[in-house]
Amino acid sequence: MYAAIRQAKARTGTAEELARRIKEGAIPIISDVEGFMAYYVVYAPDDTVTAISIFNNFASAEEANRRAIAWAEQSLAPLLVGQTSAVAGPVIVHTLA
């Protein structure tokens, strides 16, 4: 199992619009990557937005980050402050309820 993680700082007060754009734009792009397993977005109190995608191989996690960064640059730029960072790697610990 591999995770693709993207993180950015949102402009204050944009959480609802970010969620709408992500649901309509990012989810179809990311879930179309071969090996897709799950997608989560966390919006922290300091306006940090973290998107976590889970895949069954590393190449897919990297491809998801490539697609997501390109999409965010075009679709989320007015809602974000600064650059979006991205990392991918193996999940070394996980558990389910």
- List pLDDT tens digits, range 79-92: 999 989 999 999 99
Per-position DSSP letters for the chain, written without gaps between them: -EEEEEEEEEPTT-HHHHHHHIIIIIHHHHHTSTTEEEEEEEE-TTSEEEEEEEESSHHHHHHHHHHHHHHHHHHTGGGEEEEEEEEEEE-------
Q: What is the reported pLDDT for 8?
A: 96
Contact 4, 65 (CB under 8 A): yes
Domains of the chain: 2-90 (3.30.70.100)
Instruction: Say what the pLDDT of residue 69 is.
Output: 95
Distance separating the N- and C-terminal Cα atoms of the chain: 17
Dist CA 2 CA 75 (whole Å): 25
Cβ neighbours around 4 below 10 Å, total:
27
At 30-64, the pLDDT tens digits run: 999 999 999 999 999 999 999 999 999 999 999 99
